[in-house]
Chains A and B, each alone.
Chain A
Amino acid sequence: MLSKNLFISSYCHVKNNTISFNGNVLFSDDSQDFSGFVKSAAKHLNTSYPKLYKMDNLSKLASLAADAILSEQKAQSDTALVFSNRASSLDTDRKHQASISDTNNYYPSPSIFVYTLPNICLGEISIKHQLHSENCFFVFDKFNPEHLHGNTEYLLHHKKAETVLCGWVDFDDKNYEAFLYLVSENGNIAHTVDEISRRYRSKL
């Protein structure tokens, strides 16, 4: 099979109350917590999507980062999703555990429970951007560009997708970080492990 050259056409970071797109700051504020940051960012970016506020923190984080990329380029329905993180859905798992730890006050919340898997954030992005595509979520000790690169190359070279949105979305307690990038046959940044690592390290 003759492999086509693939490129990183755009990328986004969300960390430390800042959203950046292709290295340029889109939004930044001094909110005291993640919830306040999400509200301010959604307002600033004109994200009219009430369901955003019903999501858990991991899905909010993933949605903010995905919106920055997919809204800019008008997502193709055949955009696959390859995400990864370290904490899985631990932030929400803890909330669910807290709701069921007291047997005398046992009221698990359905809207919390449904987010006790990390890949739910992929579904949220797919629903919002009307993606009908392959998706997978990996859990690693740390950012793993080799694995993301290999998966993305496979999907595109085997025509499982037209484009792939991939990267890292991690939320644990008060620490959060998202780095997503879009890979396709178009762009200026070569899709290599070195370039993925370089863009990831350039986080704000």
Chain B
Amino acid sequence: MSELKQELKEKIIDILNLEDLSPSDINNNDALFGDGLGLDSIDALELIVMLDKDFGIQLTDPKQGKEIFKSISVLADYIAEHRKK
């Protein structure tokens, strides 16, 4: 699971162009949106594409994203349970 969390941090920094962050700057329980990393709605769409492309997970209900993208820990748990790739 720790490998998956590290992979997710690296992917998020790369995909979302978070130039001034490194994986060690992101705590597993940091909020990804709002006061945490400050991601926006376009970032949320990129994360949805990443889930589909890299893990074979298609979110059909947009409301799911709000819960799944709460933090790296929550996201990693969800991926581990639902991944098809």
Contact = CB atoms under 8 A, between A and B. Distances in A.
Given A110-B42, A111-B42, A114-B42, A54 B52 contact: no
Contact of B17 (A54, A108, A110, A114): A54
A52 B38 CA distance: 14
A146 B3 CA distance: 59
B83 to A, nearest CB: 16
Nearest to A50: B20
Contacts of B80: none
Interface string A73-89: 00000000000000000
B49 A110 contact: yes
Interface in A38-54: 39, 50, 53-54
A154 interface: no
Contacts of B16: 54, 111
Given A53-B19, A53-B20, A111-B16, 11 more contacts: A50-B19, A53-B17, A54-B16, A107-B49, A107-B53, A109-B46, A109-B49, A111-B17, A111-B42, A111-B45, A111-B46
Interface of A is mostly: helix
Contacts of A114: 42
Contacts of B17: 53-54, 111
Contacts of A110: 42, 45-46, 49
What band does the interface of chain B fall in when counting residues whose beta carbon is under 8 Å from A? 10 to 19
Nearest to A42: B19
Interface in A87-110: 107-110
Contacts of A53: 17-20
Contacts of B20: 50, 53
Interface string B52-80: 11000000000000000000000000000
Nearest to B21: A50
A114 B43 CA distance: 12
Contacts of B49: 107-110
A39 B42 contact: no
Interface string A105-136: 00111110010000000000000000000000
Interface string B34-50: 00001000110110010
Contacts of B43: 111
